[in-house]
């Protein structure tokens, strides 16, 4: 258990970032935990595993890709429970861990191909804007670059942890032109550079088609709405939270105020919300492994593609 708590802290402390990376790490941690377990019987094993699942889920309340991965493994185990030999439970977890990993990777590949088609093969330099860091958004842009499309990217620095720098570096590494701006220059950048398309990722999608993403995402969506710029969200359906269909509300994670101001004056209250919602009314399309559609249709596509997670 001590090792699992140490592993979980890597997610909680943001040492591991990005929804897909967090999901992959969490299922890896559960798998490693299972290998260390010494159980008297299968019931005790399941008790330990559910406890481990809860510890990992509690590290990041707004990461459905992680929740779905852990629940996928546990649901599969429940289906086989009567036939599982205790000594081989870690092998079975490994099998389902690898299946979920393949789901994530295959969805990313499909989304990159579908999303890249939204960038036209134009003679003039097309302008795409993004916010924060999304491995999926960078995959789309890298795929478009591979296809020889002529475009440049404007990205935000993303306060307070400056995740936008990771996006900028990844794109620069493959020869994509990048213009890096401060968050508060979003509207100025959209107007000044005549942005053609805004593309962001998502940490979570609700049953109503609302997405939750890094703070600043809604501001960018409002700018897109004001300036009549198409606004797309790229996300695997695995980031849909089925619990929201039952009335459970997604929570907004509040992070350490020291990220904003390390040594502030006394008697000042500092708030550091990590995420915010973007209403479906501002989203022109959700780019997923099932295609591009209105975000309000996410539940239907999720049930169709991943019935075992419902």
Please write the tens of the pLDDT for every residue from 123-143.
889 999 999 999 999 999 999
Q: How far apart are CA 112 and CA 154, in angstroms?
A: 19
What residues contact 44, with CB distance under 8 A and at least 6 apart? none
**Annotated catalytic residue, options 45, 132, 183, 284:** 132
pLDDT at 246 over 70: no
Token output for 125: 């330099």
- pLDDT average, residue stretch 19-38: 90
CA 76, 77, 83, 89 torsion: positive or negative?
positive
Spell out where the chain has E strands: 126-130, 151-156, 177-181, 197-200, 204-205, 211-214, 231-234, 275-278, 285-288, 291-293
- Which pLDDT value is given to residue 123? 82
- Which pLDDT value is given to residue 1? 82
Q: Please, is 67 exposed, middle or buried when counting C-beta atoms within 10 Å of its C-beta (0-12, 13-18, 19+)? A: buried
- Which pLDDT value is given to residue 248? 67
Instruction: Let me know if 39 is a catalytic residue.
Output: no
Beta bridge partners of 234: 287
Q: Please, is 211 exposed, middle or buried when counting C-beta atoms within 10 Å of its C-beta (0-12, 13-18, 19+)? A: buried
| Residue 268 pLDDT grade (very low, low, confident, very high; cuts 50, 70, 90) | very high
Options 1.20.272.10, 1.10.486.10, 1.20.120.420, 3.40.120.10; CATH of 2-109: 1.20.120.420
In the sheet with 197-200, reading across from the earlier edge strand, the strands are: 177-181, 151-156, 126-130, 197-200, 231-234, 285-288, 291-293
- Report the share of the chain in percent with pLDDT over 70: 99
Options 3.40.50.800, 3.40.640.10, 3.40.50.2000, 3.40.50.10470; CATH of 120-309: 3.40.50.10470
- pLDDT average, residue stretch 217-230: 98
Output the CA–CA distances (angstroms, integers) from residue 100 to 25, 63, 90, in the order listed: 12, 15, 15
Cβ atoms of residues 45 and 89 within 8 Å: yes
Which of 130, 281, 141 lies closest to 198, judged by CA? 130
**Annotated catalytic residue, options 7, 183, 196, 203:** 203
**pLDDT tens for each residue of 83-96:** 888 888 889 999 99
Find tokens 């509040």 and name the residue.
254
Domain ranges of the chain: 2-109, 120-309
- pLDDT average, residue stretch 133-162: 96
Q: How far apart are CA 233 and CA 130, in angstroms?
A: 10
Instruction: Let me know if 196 is a catalytic residue.
Output: no
- Which pLDDT value is given to residue 215? 96
- pLDDT average, residue stretch 216-222: 98
Output the CA–CA distances (angstroms, integers) from residue 17 to 23, 28, 102, 180, in the order listed: 10, 15, 19, 20
Token output for 58: 């509690």
- pLDDT average, residue stretch 90-107: 93
């Amino acid at each position: 258990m001590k090792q699992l708590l140490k592993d979980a802290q890597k997610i909680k402390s943001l040492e591991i970032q990005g929804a897909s990376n967090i999901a992959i790490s969490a299922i890896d941690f559960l798998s490693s935990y299972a290998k260390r377990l010494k159980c008297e019987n299968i019931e005790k094993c399941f008790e330990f595993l559910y406890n481990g699942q809860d510890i990992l889920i509690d590290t990041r309340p707004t990461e459905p890709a992680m929740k779905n991965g852990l629940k996928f493994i546990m649901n599969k185990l429940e289906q086989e429970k009567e036939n599982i030999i205790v000594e081989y439970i870690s092998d079975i977890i490994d099998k389902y861990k690898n299946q979920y990993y393949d789901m994530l990777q295959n969805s990313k590949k499909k989304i990159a191909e579908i999303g890249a088609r939204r960038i036209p093969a134009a003679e003039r330099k097309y302008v795409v804007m993004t916010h924060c860091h999304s491995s999926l958004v960078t995959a789309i842009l890298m795929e478009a670059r591979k296809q020889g499309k002529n475009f440049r990217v404007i990205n935000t620095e993303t306060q307070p942890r400056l995740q936008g720098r990771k996006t900028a570096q990844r794109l620069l590494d493959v020869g994509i032109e990048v213009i890096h701006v401060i968050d508060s220059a979003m509207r100025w950048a959209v107007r000044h550079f005549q942005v053609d398309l805004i593309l962001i990722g998502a940490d979570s999608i609700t049953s109503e088609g609302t997405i939750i993403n890094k703070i600043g995402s809604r501001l960018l969506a409002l700018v897109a709405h004001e300036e009549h710029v198409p606004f797309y969200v790229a996300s695997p359906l695995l980031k849909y939270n089925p619990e929201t269909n039952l009335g459970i509300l997604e929570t907004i994670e509040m992070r350490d105020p020291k990220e904003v101001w390390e040594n502030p004056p006394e008697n000042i209250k500092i708030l550091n919300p990590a995420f915010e919602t973007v209403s479906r009314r501002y989203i022109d399309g959700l780019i997923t492994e099932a295609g591009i559609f209105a975000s309000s249709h996410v539940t239907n596509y999720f049930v169709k593609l991943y019935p075992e997670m419902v």
